[in-house]
Amino acid sequence: MHIHILGICGTFMGGVAALAREAGHKVTGCDAGVYPPMSDQLRALGIDLIEGFGADQLQLKPDMWVIGNVVSRARQPDGTPRYPLMEAILDAGLPYTSGPQWLAEHVLQGRHVLAVAGTHGKTTTTSMLAWVLEQAGLQPGFLVGGVPMNFGVSARLGAGRHFVIEADEYDTAFFDKRSKFVHYRPRTAILNNLEFDHADIFDDLAAIERQFHHLVRTVPSTGRVVVNGLEESLARVLHAGCWSEVRSFGAADGDFTAEGEPHAFDVLRRGERVGQVEWSLGGVHNQLNALAAIAAADHVGVAPAQAAQALARFENVKRRMELRGTVRGISVYDDFAHHPTAIRTTVDGLRRRLPPGQRILAVFEPRSNTMKLGTMKSQLPWSLEQADLAFCHSGGLGWDPREALAPMGGRAQVADSIDELVRQVVQAARSGDQVLCMSNGGFGGIHGRLLQALQNA
């Protein structure tokens, strides 16, 4: 089968492309604004990438057009289609489907699917779970919304029966407004946490809870739902109905709990010590991610002690507290955090690892659709509480970040361009500082630009 993927460079659609290629299908695709790591990974797989969404791509004549949710029926200010290829596909009556549906029909069918859902930590927890199953000899397939450093790729078919997938609550495509994860039909489902997000498609938290309950409805009675016992929103999801075995983690009375610091802790199952995790990761959020992965792996026969040993060799995911370089004693990190809660837990996790007196310079751009809308702008000072200084890129916002960050006083600065942002950070930085750059996009290559500017200063 020849498939042509529209929006191929998104982390999810890039993963679909990699799986299809590995399965022996011919894969081509198109996108705009291509940037690594996904573009590099696709080219390394021999997948031809076309820049833009021109209707001339009809000449490729694939068997199926796979449509990413970046594609819409939107029009330019002059009235022309923003995605002329999609309009041409519709006009010609050609076969098309969504990425999640193609995946469900051609990859997940007949597999034991382990799906990881949640507002935060999906990519990291999915990577942890895949690594635990790999170390247990189960040879799982996986699709992760990032590049796990233990594997070096975001997706693979795997030789075993199990398939681990990052289960996103964002909608499927312009013609299918259900959450992606409804297509996956997991036998093991992790509900890691649940907060309001995606203000561009969800009206409120209750709307997202409804989608999570749709996921719960698809888990069979012989399946397992692994749920964060600290989240009231998830308690409401399960209260709406659950037909599967439930195992909780995190809460003191939960099935799986931790005792100790996030970098070194005992794993307890109903109060009994069953394993110990000692690793390089920090932050309570990663401790909870680990418990979720251990509880899910337990469902497919991997003992908690074995899972804990595997996590000791877990190397995290690219763009998750990834050290990009150190110049003049100043370290520059890259992280994917973009929701206020994720920003706070990321900064707090770094703070816990630093000796007293060492400074954190938080550099961020409110780039997600929710943040661009300004829905959570009032939470920014709270999210940056543990940072010594904060630097915000204001490009493309319809609200004033200076006003939102005013409660931080002189600890916060705002720049309208990346060049100005780099200048501000370099002027403020001193030896021993940890510069933490947070964005869910390329951030204008700020990491390399900061390191170069620090070198030249």
Q: What is the pLDDT of residue 48?
A: 87
Residue that is written with structure tokens 């998104």 in the block: 10
- Six token digits for residue 435: 């510069």
- Write the DSSP string, 346-358: HHHHHHHHSPTT-
Q: What is the pLDDT of residue 258?
A: 97
Q: What is the pLDDT of residue 149?
A: 86
- Write the DSSP string, 102-152: HHIIIIITTSEEEEEE-SSSHHHHHHHHHHHHHHTT---EEE-SS-BTTTS
Cα separation, 457 vs 114, whole angstroms: 49
Alpha carbon distances (Å) from 326 to 60, 420, 432, 433, 448: 46, 21, 10, 10, 11
Is 174:102 a contact under the CB 8 Å cutoff? no
Please give the annotated binding residues, written as ranges: 118-124
Cα separation, 296 vs 290, whole angstroms: 10
- Six token digits for residue 46: 């021999």
| CATH number, domain 2-98 | 3.40.50.720
Domain locations in the chain as residue ranges: 2-98, 110-311, 322-456
Is 1:26 a contact under the CB 8 Å cutoff? yes
Cα separation, 401 vs 394, whole angstroms: 7
Fold identical between 2-98 and 322-456? no
Q: What is the pLDDT of residue 35?
A: 64
Q: What is the pLDDT of residue 142?
A: 98
- Write the DSSP string, 311-354: HTT---BTTSSEEEEEETTEEEEEE---SHHHHHHHHHHHHHHS
Architecture of domain 110-311: 3-Layer(aba) Sandwich (3.40)
Distance, C-alpha 75 to centroid of its chain: 29
Please give the annotated binding residues for ATP, written as ranges: 118-124
Position 265, amino acid: F
Regions of the chain where pLDDT drops below 50: none
| CATH number, domain 322-456 | 3.90.190.20
Q: What is the pLDDT of residue 172?
A: 95
Q: Which DSSP category does 201 fall into?
A: T
Q: What is the pTM of this model?
A: 0.81
